[in-house]
Amino acid sequence: MTALGGLGTAVLLAPLLAPLLAGGAAAMVGWRRAVAWSAVAASVVILASGVLAAVATTDGSVLVVGDLLRADALTAVMLIVIGGVAVIATWSGVGYIDQELAAGHTDARGAGRYGLLVPMFLAAMVLAVLASNLGVLWASIEATTIVTAFLVGHRGGRKAVEATWKYVIICSVGIALAYLGTVLVYYSSQHSGMGSQGSLDWTVLVAHADRLDPGVMRVAFALLVLGFGTKAGLVPMHSWLPDAHSQAPAPVSALMSGVLLSVAVYALLRYRVIAVAALDPGFVRILLLTAALTSLALAASMLIAQRDYKRLLAYSSIEHMGLVVLGAAVGTPLAVAALLLHILGHGLAKSVLFCGSGQILALEGTTQISGVRGLLARRPVLAGTFALGLAALLGLPPFSLFVSELALARAAADAGLGWALAVALVLLLVVFVAIASHGAGMLFGRPPAVTAPPGAGPATAPVPTAAAVSSILTRTLVRPQALAPVRTAAGVAPLVTGLAVLAVLGVVAWPLDQLLRAAALIAGTP
């Protein structure tokens, strides 16, 4: 275990401080262009520290800051996930909020609150993955419920308030159950031979895992799967997901789907390592398999007759998390490496799709699938990125979700779970056909005769959609921070970047391969 001195400390502290600073700036100054870009800068800092941590920990070493913060290869992967998704979401958010201000959907206070809460959310997520104490992990995931509550309700109005209430209630209940599970883990650690002062430090628990009482740990692990599974969108406490994602602003949905769900699964992974040593591994596997397969089945069922494209993306997140937890149930190093790659790929793809859907919403004014027709003919660039995003989400090469699903399949077959794999693949086929047919309805065909200005023109000329909208609506409530309308090319840039990264990840193994294998050694059990 090396500490790499000052650089190690910087790598661990920078991703915490950067978003806090960005949030502080927003709190003091309100929504400004510089503030908006500072959030993007904070995300880049998180990504960069993730990369640096990866470089440092691929060989198995660990970075620490005192007793509080700790980074191993698994943490580095999660930092990269958080950073990558955050870059796309915050970059897209710059234009998004400007569009909202111009269109009058929000005011300066709302924009300022957005600018404060998003970096706070990022800070909480980073703290969760950097924490070495499982209690701090729990507390930071709990904190995100509070932070995102007002982000979900950003738009205001009946549906947003309803979504916020359901989100807060269901997630709080889930997190409370996770808290009970944490308490029980602490209880069993007190009687496991490390003295009456038990511990919630993950390394200590892993070292003493075989002496933890199986009976208590069973109840604890079951509660933890239910509790953190709520935040991960697993059945049975998944119902907040579609409501929250459909009402939240698009970049926030991207962050929730890409970051929040991933960190919840990360928590499950950490606990799984302890549980597998303390309990009968078969029990752990069956519990996780049940959660995974029921979530997949639910997602497939709800996608068939889906009418709202944002809810469609939300249920797709449930489906992918089900797949990831299936990998966790298998638990071998190949499975864990595959599921980590899948978390990264899903986060990027989902953020591209949600940010794209935000622009489609701004264009069409409806989230109903039947209300969007012939998008490829009208807005080739936006529709093209959305189509490629859907292709990535459905697991088509060259995007990385295909290789991660393939590796998961191989790992499941190697572990003798061929039947579970067969069920999962059939459900994925149902999901594929459902999403493909809904997407095809939106994208292909001739555009309807009566539409907004058809001046899409050639694909390369950026059409300022926000300008078009603002020319239609009158500017009455003057917002002091009303910024220039966003051009389509700028709006699509983060999406294209995300897709390009996904394609590269899907084809080139280096350098992520080594990092994934190192992380898999930590979280996987052969």
Partner 1 sequence: MSDGVFVQILDLVCGGLLLSGVLMLWRRELVAIVRLLVVQGVLLAALAVLLGVREQSVELYLVAVGVLILKAVVLPGVLHRVLRDSGDAREAAPLVNVTSSLLAAALLTLVAYAVSGPLVALAPSATTRALPVGLAVVLLGFFVLVTRRHALSQVVGFLLLDNGIAATAFLATSGVPLVVELGGSLDLLLLVLVLQVLAARMRLTFGRTDMDELQELRD
Partner 2 sequence: MNLISVGLAVVAAAALVGATAGALAQARTRPLVAGAATAVVGLGGVLAGVAALGGQTWSLTIANLLPLAETTFAVDALSGAFLVLIGAVAITAGIYSVGYTSPGGAHATDEDDAAPGHDEVVAHDGVDAHDDVPGPAKAAASRTAQAVLPLFAAAMLLVPAAASVSTLLVLWELMALTSLVLVLAEHRLRRSVRDAGLWYAGMTHAGLVAIMLGLVVLAAGAGGESFAAMRAGSAGLSPATASCVFLLVFLGFGSKAGMVPLHVWLPRAHPEAPSHVSALMSAAMVTLGVYGIIRVGFDLLGGGDGWWWLVVLAVGAVSALYGVLQASVAADLKRLLAYSTTENVGLMLIGIGAAGVFAAEGNRVLAGLLLAAAVLHAVNHAAFKALLFFGAGSVLRSTGLRDLDRLGGLVSRMPVTTALFAVGALGAAGLPAGNGFVSEWLLLQGLIHSVTGATAPSVVVALSMPLAVAVVALTAGLGVATFVKAFGVGFLARPRSVAATGATESPLSMRVGMGLAAAACTVLALAPAVAGAPLGRLLDVLPSVRGGAPLARSDVSLRLAGIAGSMSPLLIVVGLLVAALGAAALVRRVTRGAPRRATPVWGGGSTRLSPRMEYTATSFAEPLTRVFDDVLRPEKDIDVTPFAESEFLIASISYRQRVPDRVEARLYPPLLAAVGRWGQWSRGIANGSVHRYLAYGFIGLLVVLVVVGITS
The option from partner 2, partner 1, none interacting with 143 (CB < 5 to 8 A, set by class) reads partner 1
Residue with tokens 């007793």: 67
Closer to partner 1 by Cβ: residue 28 or 169: 169
Does 266 engage in binding with partner 1 (CB under 8 A)? no
Taking the least distance from each CB to partner 1, the nearer of 288 and 302 is: 302
Q: Judged by CB under 8 A, does residue 361 bind partner 1? A: no
Beta carbons of 163 and 244 less than 8 angstroms apart: yes
| Closest to partner 2 by CB, 7 or 286 | 286
CA–CA dist 32, 252 (Å, integer): 18
CA-closest candidate to residue 491, choices 392, 336, 352:
352
Binding partner of 434, given partner 1, partner 2, none, CB within 5-8 angstroms per partner class:
partner 2
Q: Is residue 193 within the footprint of partner 1 (CB under 8 A)? A: no
Residue 437 found at the interface with partner 2 (CB under 8 A): yes
Q: Is 187 in the site for partner 1 (CB under 8 A)?
A: yes
Angle between helix 261-278 and helix 309-330 axes, rounded to 10 deg:
20
Which of 26, 80, 111, 184 is the binder for partner 1 (CB under 8 A)? 184
State the binding partner of 401 from partner 1, partner 2, none, CB within 5 to 8 A by kind: none
Q: By CB under 8 A, what part of segment 22-81 binds partner 2? A: none
| Residue with Cβ nearer partner 2 (436 or 472) | 436
- Here's the x/- map for partner 2, 194-223, by CB under 8 A: it reads as --------------------xx--xx--x-
Strand (E) or helix (H) holding 154: none
Amino acid at site 198: G
Q: Which stretch binds partner 2 (CB under 8 A): 96-104, 262-270, 335-343, 363-371?
A: 335-343
Please name the amino acid found at residue 298: L
What is the spatial distance between Cα 480 and Cα 255, in angstroms, rounded to a whole number?
Answer: 27
How many degrees, rounded to 5, is the angle at CA 319 between CA 313 and CA 322? 145
Return the sign of the alpha-carbon dihedral for residues 8, 12, 73, 178: positive
- Residues 202-261, interacting with partner 1 (CB under 8 A): 213-216, 218-219, 242-243, 246-247
Least distance in angstroms from the C-beta of 325 to partner 1: 23
Render the burial of 296-319: b for 16+ CB within 10 Å, e for the rest.
bbbbbebbeebebbbbbbbbbbbb
For partner 1, which is the closer residue by CB, 14 or 216?
Answer: 216
> How many angstroms separate the CA atoms of 78 and 122, rounded?
12
Candidate residues 37, 103, 155, 165; the one interacting with partner 2 per rule CB under 8 A: 165
Give whichever of 45 and 353 is closer to partner 2, judged by the CB atom: 353
Tell me the closest approach of the beta carbon of residue 526 to partner 2, in angstroms. 15
Binding string, residues 269-308; x marks residues near partner 2 by CB under 8 A: --------------x---x----------x--xxxxx---
Kindly state whether residue 299 participates in binding partner 1, applying the rule CB under 8 A.
no
- Tell me the closest approach of the beta carbon of residue 184 to partner 1, in angstroms: 7
If the CB atoms of residues 164 and 481 are measured against partner 2, the closer one turns out to be: 164
For 265-295, letters b (16+ CB in 10 Å) and e give: bbbbbbbbbbbbbbbeeebbbebbbebbbeb
**How far is the first Cα of the chain from the last one, in angstroms, to the nearest whole number?**
23
**72, 98, 142, 364: which one binds partner 1 (CB under 8 A):** 142
Q: Kindly give, in sequence order, each residue whose CB lies less than 8 Å from that of residue 58, ignoring residues fewer than 6 positions away.
A: 73, 76, 514, 515, 518
Pick the closer one to partner 2 by CB: 44 or 377. 377
| Least gap, CB of 66 to partner 1 (angstroms) | 13
Question: Is residue 409 a contact point for partner 2 (CB under 8 A)?
Answer: yes
**CA gap 42, 64 in Å, rounded:** 21
Residue 149 binding partner per list partner 1, partner 2, none, with a CB distance cut-off of 5 to 8 Å that depends on partner kind: partner 1
- Measured between alpha carbons, how far is 98 from 42 in angstroms, rounded to an integer? 19
- Whose Cβ is closer to partner 2: residue 389's or residue 506's? 506
What ranges make up the beta strands (E) of 151-212? none
The count of C-alpha atoms lying within 13 angstroms of the C-alpha of 69, restricted to the half-sphere facing its C-beta, is 18
Assess 321 for contact with partner 1 (CB under 8 A): no
Grouping H, G, I as helix, E, B as strand and the rest as coil, residue 368 is strand
Measured CA to CA, the distance from residue 52 to residue 49 in angstroms comes to: 5
- Restricting to residues 228-267, name those near partner 2 by CB under 8 A: 230, 235-237, 239-240, 242
Strand partners, 71: 63
The residue within the footprint of partner 1, chosen from 241, 302, 376, 411 (CB under 8 A), is: 302
234 three-state secondary structure? coil
Nearest to 336 by CA among 511, 206, 519: 519
Contacts to partner 1 by CB under 8 A: 133, 135-136, 138-139, 142-143, 145-146, 149-150, 153, 157-159, 161-166, 168-169, 172-173, 176, 179-180, 182-184, 186-188, 190-191, 198, 200, 213-216, 218-219, 242-243, 246-247, 302, 305-307, 311
